[in-house]
Chain A
Amino acid sequence: MMMNKEQRSIYIHIPFCQRKCIYCNFRSITDTSLVDDYIKGLIKEIVLYKDLLKTSIIETIYIGGGTPSFINEKHIAEIIDTIKEYNDLSHIKEITIEVNPGTLTKEKLMTYKAIGINRLSMGFQSSNNQMLKTIGRIHTFEEAKAAYYLARAVGFDNISLDLIFGLPGQSVKDFEASINEIIRLKPEHISAYSLKVEEETLLFDLIKDKALVLPKESVDRKMYERLINRLEENEFFLYEISNFSQKGYESKHNMAYWNRQEYFGFGLAAHGFLKNRRFGNTEDFDDYFHSLSKNNRPIVNEEVVNKEDALFEEIMLGLRLKKGINFKIINQNYGIDFLKRHKNAIDFLLDEGLIIISNDHLRLTMKGMNLSNQVIAELID
């Protein structure tokens, strides 16, 4: 370990999409006229953090969105180049970019590869074309597969595919078909998210108007169960509530989040965790540009993480992981007796089969994962 240098990750947000998916409440727009200004702003923001970048050991970078692959690849190169001006990235292990299969070209992929991106996260979502259309995706399953093989041909050897389940009108059988198709592609990593209906989305309105109907909660959970079983049979191991990988291919960037490592958050609506403070950037383009024009960081929320908060986060994030939380280490770090402090709750959670305790770890059972928010709420103060 080098002196005075701390391990940190970088998250970069690209808030542009060719089309908005109906379930998305994420900060993104389809108006590309702002792209150039945005990239200029983003670069300016990165420069504002140059001192901290210089003293950080960067192991992972994650370029998310929006659809980072939607904008011209040269912009992605500019961003990476800017970072390299203040950090030689000599410790880099993983640079991920989120890509929409409908936006990929060979040139794009080759540029990504050339600038050091070594991991792709592709939004497949489903193998059912009708369903892809319903939720507003711009690609078919066949197009997605073609993009996947193209990426392989360009030389990407670490690819994650995203699935969504609990889609409107989806049956367990439908979802199982998607799982099987994905398994056949042999990606290194699979993320599978249960659809959440957020307010202020088209999906929310469509469901309210009964134009679309979601599967029942019990069906959604059956899908999740089937997912875990099918993937494990095929050597994809669940390591976090929504994430599966072949051995050794866990997402290093996401692991950094779960392990409470610090990270820079660049871009609109991005979040960062630096020097024991959590930040949130503005979600408003005008505010974003305005702050940067005055050489101010575009931060709208900032919170110091005190010891109680840290413990809270430790439990909240740690329990998302398959391995759970190591209470022996927590006891040491926070000067508490975790099992004693939550004895009643833990007894109850054990009785209900929601948690398992072994080898100094407390982790969620399958049932516990389905109710993880409830379990976590029992174990925090």
Chain B
Amino acid sequence: MQRDRQSKIRNFSIIAHIDHGKSTLADRLIQMTGQLTEREMQEQVLDTMDLEKERGITIKLQTTRLEYTAKDGETYTLNLIDTPGHVDFTYEVSRSLAACEGAVLVVDAAQGVEAQTMANVHLADEQGLEVFPVLNKIDLPSARPDEVIQEIEDDLAILAQDAPRISAKDGINIEDVLERIVQRVPAPTGDENAPFKALVFDSMYDSYTGAIAYIRVFDGQVKKGDKIRMMSNGSEYEVTEVGVHTPKQKKMDVLRAGDVGYITASIKNVRDCRVGDTITNANQPTEKPLPGYKKVTPMVYCGIYPLGDQKVDDVRDALEKLQLNDGALIYEAETSAALGYGFRCGFLGLLHLEIIQERLIREFDLDIISTSPSVIYNVNMKNGEKITVQNPSNLPDLTLIENMEEPIVKADIMVLKDYVGNVMALCEERRGTMLHMEYLDEMKVMVHYELPLNEVIYDFFDTLKSITKGYGSLDYELLEYRPSELVKMDILINKERIDAFTMILHKSSAVYRGRRICDKLKDTIPRQMFTIPIQAAIGSNIIARENVKAMRKDVTSKCYGGDITRKKKLLEKQKKGKKRMQKFGNVEIPQKAFLEVLKYDDE
């Protein structure tokens, strides 16, 4: 009976390279299975954040349950679990894949196999998923389905001759995809009578119900009133509601083995409801948690400060709200000599940092600036004391320091064999040490490197993408701390040290980076009423210098025909522009300058 029920369930993900049409296909599937009315059906239902739509990437997972009556006359429950698509979120991807039995691989019929196609297939393989391909954008004039099928078979070793040829945009052959999901994705085979065991693959915060855990039930069942236990930390809660997403939230009586859904249990914070954790029944616990739980720890830190008239409390409120939904974000109050009161925030990586920063600016309409990103350094003092520093400004005087240690990561870079040389050059340049290299198949190579994390957090990933024509994927994990010749570089604007720009970096890269930053600041700081020297310094030693030349002329020669209002408007605009800048002494620095320094290299 229970096997019979589970035989009608299919849990799957859609995996694809960016822009190959994952979200469009997901929308189509939802529409085809009639879950939403036309009116409710907005573009890309699953990507709910503006930022995601704009960047075309999924940051936050969404999940939805589809009811589909197949050609065999049976009605199936198809649970679509969406995955995010960036290295900072690889762990989240692996957890959502772990909740599935199969994956639909979407390949653009014009673009063919690309970097992420490969990386995602690799991840799905690791989870032991059944992967089958779908050719999308078949309607494009540049579509070359036969060649792409060959690419899939050659590069990915996946049979693709009978892959459905679809256009998600135009709704062509979508039913083939649904049929294929029913036929190819294995049904779950959990034991309904065993103790309750479920994987948390995502969590969200809701101000009414508390944290909502998105779960895949592997064994047993859960219903309202059950006492549950989080196996990573032993905390216990009483379930207040269980249900599914259709994609609207819909209450259910019970979730059983094989089901995908949500539970709420008055969990105050998403931090108590971690992705990858196993939930069980507190009274009748399962013996072993599901494998793969990893506590996420921030790797990158930066300061976030209110700019101009913005109040520090507004920034705190916004961070608090973001944190409810983002267990990986941490923050604490700090002060800066130049910027006043603000927050030191910890992130998974630089993309995570950029996303949070952009959300603060856009969704919360805040004027903020971010300081240079930093990793955590261990500092051994001459007096025997050991301290950790994640804010470069707090680094003690060098004369008091015995030595410093920086975090080293083990990086796994997967790349096509043609680009291995480029990748090795990049890693060498970033002070990397090669561990070994292995051929995954005839095309794919996995290169293992030890790299200092502070070299990875800046533009490493973007550079990797560009030197491998997009065919490079990166995964990394912390290995250990090692002694390193680190220096603290200050940026002085108009002879004044701007602590927000201070950074710790390796001696060998200080001059180059110092020059780049001075150059960038020269271009982003608007000319003002006096010449502004911009300098990079290590201690009292100036290693780079640029000047923002003084403005010579800013005068309205004529007020035509008594049009005072126009002139007034122009001045008001000018004044407003000034207010949106941070004033250091007499120098006004726009928000953009801080973002530019953060971005590092875009050559």
A-side residues, CB < 8 A to B, are 11, 13, 26, 64, 193-194, 196, 217-218, 220-221, 241-242, 257, 263, 265, 269-273, 278, 280, 301, 303, 309, 312-313, 316-317, 320, 348, 352, 354, 369-377, 380-381
* Contacting residue for B571 out of A272, A370, A373, CB 8 A: A373
Residues on the A chain within 8 Å of B568, using CB:
309, 312-313, 316
- Distance (whole angstroms) from the CB of A78 to the closest CB of chain B: 20
Q: Is the CB of A257 within 8 A of B555?
A: no
Complexed CA–CA distance, A221 and B560 (Å): 21
Residues on the A chain within 8 Å of B565, using CB:
271, 278, 280, 301, 303
A-side binding surface: helix, strand, loop or mixed? mixed
Q: Is the CB of B554 within 8 A of A271?
A: no
Q: Which of A64, A257, A271 has the most CB of B within 10 A?
A: A271
Q: Is the CB of A273 within 8 A of B562?
A: yes
Q: Is the CB of B562 within 8 A of A265?
A: yes
Q: Is the CB of B551 within 8 A of A242?
A: no
Complexed CA–CA distance, A257 and B559 (Å): 9
Interface size class of B (residues with CB under 8 A): 20 to 34
- Distance (whole angstroms) from the CB of B548 to the closest CB of chain A: 14
15 A–B contacts, CB within 8 A, in A order:
A11-B562, A193-B557, A194-B553, A257-B564, A265-B562, A269-B561, A271-B564, A313-B564, A316-B571, A317-B564, A370-B555, A372-B555, A373-B555, A373-B556, A377-B578
Complexed CA–CA distance, A13 and B554 (Å): 28
Q: Is the CB of B552 within 8 A of A257?
A: no
Residues on the A chain within 8 Å of B71, using CB:
none
Q: Is the CB of A316 within 8 A of B567?
A: yes
- Distance (whole angstroms) from the CB of B303 to the closest CB of chain A: 25
- Distance (whole angstroms) from the CB of B112 to the closest CB of chain A: 42
B-side residues, CB < 8 A to A, are 528-530, 551-565, 567-568, 570-571, 574-575, 578, 586
A221-B552, A376-B571, A377-B575 given; A271·B563 CB < 8 A: yes
Complexed CA–CA distance, A348 and B530 (Å): 11
- Distance (whole angstroms) from the CB of B380 to the closest CB of chain A: 44
Q: Is the CB of A371 within 8 A of B529?
A: yes
Complexed CA–CA distance, A132 and B479 (Å): 75
Q: Which of B552, B567, B575 has the most CB of A within 10 A?
A: B552
Q: Which of B551, B559, B570 has the most CB of A within 10 A?
A: B559
- Distance (whole angstroms) from the CB of A350 to the closest CB of chain B: 12
Q: Is the CB of B555 within 8 A of A241?
A: yes
- Distance (whole angstroms) from the CB of A84 to the closest CB of chain B: 22
Complexed CA–CA distance, A380 and B573 (Å): 12
Complexed CA–CA distance, A117 and B561 (Å): 18
Q: Is the CB of B555 within 8 A of A194?
A: yes
Q: Is the CB of A278 within 8 A of B564?
A: yes
Which residue on chain B has the smallest CB distance to residue A354?
A: B529
- Distance (whole angstroms) from the CB of B108 to the closest CB of chain A: 40
Residues on the A chain within 8 Å of B586, using CB:
348, 352
Which residue on chain A has the smallest CB distance to residue B570?
A: A373
- Distance (whole angstroms) from the CB of A143 to the closest CB of chain B: 24
Complexed CA–CA distance, A257 and B586 (Å): 33
Q: Is the CB of B554 within 8 A of A257?
A: no
Which residue on chain A has the smallest CB distance to residue B578?
A: A377
Residues on the A chain within 8 Å of B552, using CB:
217-218, 221, 370-371
Q: Is the CB of A271 within 8 A of B562?
A: yes
Which residue on chain B has the smallest CB distance to residue A257?
A: B562
Residues on the B chain within 8 Å of A270, using CB:
561-562
Residues on the A chain within 8 Å of B559, using CB:
257, 320
Which residue on chain A has the smallest CB distance to residue B554?
A: A373
Q: Is the CB of B561 within 8 A of A11?
A: yes
Q: Is the CB of B571 within 8 A of A374?
A: no
